[in-house]
Structure 1
C-alpha cells in the first residue's frame, strides 16, 4: 500500500531565528490535492541527567507558547557550534543548563518530537557520573532556568498530577522507571 504524498510545490512563508514555516501543495496517494504547513526546526537533544542518588535533573523555565513555566529535562537545539553533532550539543547543553558534566553520555533513542507538523528530530542521552563543570559556558541571555532534582517515583506522581506535561520529560521518567523495573 502506497502512503507517499507527492510534493507539487513548496513555499517558505516565514523564516525566523529559530524556525521556518513552509507550505507545501501535495497530491495524496488517492489523487486529491492538499496543503501541508510544515515547521522546519533544527535537530535537538534531550538529557536524562541522573545523579549518584538516582535522581533526575529537571529545569523550570518559562515557555512563551504556553505563557507559563514548565518542568522539563535539560534540552536544546543542535546549532552551528556543534557542527551537526548531537553528542557535542548534549555536552554543551548539559553545561549551559545545569552547570554539570557527565563521565558517561549514552545515546538512548532518537525520535521525532511532533511529526504531524514539524521535522524536529530529537536525540535523547542518558548522562551519568555527573559533577560540576570546571569551566562554565555562557548561558542563553534570554533564558532563566531553575535546576531541581526529583526521584523517579516523584516524577511519575508529577506526571499523574499534571505538574510534568512535557513529552520528552515524560519519556525520560518512564525510561528510568523501566530501567529500574519500578
Structure 2
C-alpha cells in the first residue's frame, strides 16, 4: 500500500534484534520509543507478501483448492494463493498461482484490494485479484503442495463458511466480493 498515512502515534525504532530467519518468514524483536516517551518491545513477523485469486467460471462457480494446513492441524478450502517471490510483480504472481494450483489461466484479471493480514504483529500484505474468462489446463503445484481443486456454487461456498471448511479471511473476503458481483453485476472497486 502506497498511500501516505499520518504518523500520529509513530513508534521510533531504537534497536532490532533478529530472532529467526526461515524460508518464508523472519522474526525480529524491536525496541521502540513510544509517542508518550516510554519504551516497549514489539515482536514482528516479516513476510514477503502474497497474492490470492477469486477465480470465477462462466458457470457462476468459484475455483477453490483444498489442502492440509499444519498450523490448524486440518484441511482447509481456500481460493488459490501463494507468496510473492523476491521482486515478483503481484499480477504475474497471481496468474502463476492460479495456473500452478488449479491448471487454469485467465483471459481477464484485475486487482480487487490489497490488505494486511495481521498488522498487530506481521507485515504480510495480500493482493486479492479477480480472474475471469478461465481457460482450463493442467495444474502444476509445488512439490510440497498436495491440493484438490473444487468448483463451488455460491450456496456451497456459503455452506463451507458456515461449516468451517472455509475459515480464512482472504477466502471469506473473496466470497463476499463474489456476492456483491452477483447482486450488482460488478466487482467492488
Please state which band the TM-score falls in when normalised by the shorter chain.
Answer: over 0.9
- Distance in 2 (CA, whole Å) between partners of 1:69 and 1:138 is 20
Shift of residue 66, structure 1, vs aligned partner? 1.0
- Distance in 2 (CA, whole Å) between partners of 1:154 and 1:112 is 27
Shift of residue 153, structure 1, vs aligned partner? 2.2
How do residues 10-25 of structure 1 correspond to structure 2 at under 5 angstroms?
10-25=16-31
1:3-53 CA-to-partner distances (Å, cap 9, x unmatched) read 111111111100011111011011111222111111111111000010011
- Distance in 1 (CA, whole Å) between partners of 2:115 and 2:161 is 20
2:88 corresponds to which of 63, 71, 84: 84
| Structure 2 residue ranges without an equivalent (≥5) | 1-6, 185-189
1:72 lines up with 2:78 in the alignment: yes
How do residues 12-161 of structure 1 correspond to structure 2 at under 5 angstroms?
12-80=18-86, 83-133=87-137, 138-161=140-163
TM-score normalised per structure 1: 0.92
1:121-158 CA-to-partner distances (Å, cap 9, x unmatched) read 1101101010123xx57421111000101112221232
SS across alignment from 2:157: helix
Shift of residue 84, structure 1, vs aligned partner? 2.2
Query: How many corresponding residue pairs?
Result: 178
Instruction: Give the match for residue 168 of structure 1.
Output: 170
* Preserved CA contact (<8 Å) 1:92 1:137: no
TM-score normalised per structure 2: 0.89
- Distance in 2 (CA, whole Å) between partners of 1:138 and 1:101 is 12
Give me the CA root mean square deviation: 1.6
1:80-113 CA-to-partner distances (Å, cap 9, x unmatched) read 4xx4200110111111100000000111111111
Using the TM superposition, name which of 148-157 and 172-181 deviates more.
148-157
* Preserved CA contact (<8 Å) 2:114 2:126: yes
